[in-house]
Structure 1
Amino acid sequence: MDEFASGMDFGAVAGGSEQTELSRMIAMEQQKAQFQLKVHNFTDVCWEKCVDKAGSKLDSRTEACLVSCVERFVDTTLAITNRFAQMVQKGGH
C-alpha cells in the first residue's frame, strides 16, 4: 500500500483544472493581503510625514501634504494594477 500511495499524484485526484483554480485563488488572496499590508504601511508613512499633531482640523500645509501623498498612492496603485494585468494576460496565452 505504501508503494501505491507514494506513486499517486494527489493533484490529479483533485482534478487539474480544480487544482489550477485553487492555486489561482490562493495567489489572489496572497496579493490582496500584500496590498492591504502596503496600504497600512503607506497610511503610517503619510501620517508620520504629514501630521505634526492631531487636532480637530487640518491646516492647509497638512492637507496639501496628505493630498499629495494620496495622489502618489493612487498613481502607484494604478501602475501596480496595470502590471498585474499585463502579467495575467501574458500568462493566459
Structure 2
Amino acid sequence: MSDFGNYGGGSMEAKKQQVMDQVRSELALANAQELINKINEKCFAKCVPKPGSKLDSSEQACISKCMDRYMEAWNIVSRTYINRVQRESQNMGGAGGL
C-alpha cells in the first residue's frame, strides 16, 4: 500500500509549512546577497574612480553614504512591493465569488 496513510493531516501541514519556511529563508538570503552585490557594484564604481591599495577618507565617507542611501531605497521598494503583493492577494481572495 501507499505510505500516504502514515501521514495525518497535521503532519502534512507541518511538512508543508517547513518547506515554505525554508523557501522564505532561501529567498531572504538571495535578496541579501543581491543587495550586497549591488551596493558593491554601484557604490564602488561611484566612489572609487581610481582604485589603489587602500581607500582614502573621502572614498570611505562616499561609500558609507552611498550604502546608506542604497539600503534606504531598497527597503522602501521592498516594503512597497510586499504591500502591493499582499493587497493583490487579498483582492484575489475576495474575487472568488465572481
TM-score if structure 2 supplies the norm length?
Answer: 0.55
In structure 1, the partner of 2:33 is 36
CA contact (8 A) 2:47 2:62 kept: yes
Structure 2, unaligned stretches of length 5 or more? 1-8, 84-98
Amino-acid identity (%): 27
How far the C-alpha of 1:70 sits from its partner, in A, is: 3.0
Match in the other structure for 2:47: 50
| Alpha-carbon distance in 2 for matches of 1:20, 1:60 | 48
Number of residue-to-residue matches in the alignment:
78
RMSD (Å) for aligned C-alpha atoms: 3.3
Q: Does 1:22 align with 2:19?
A: yes
- Give 1:65's match in structure 2, choosing from 44, 62, 67: 62
Unpaired stretches in structure 1, ≥5 consecutive residues: 1-11, 88-93
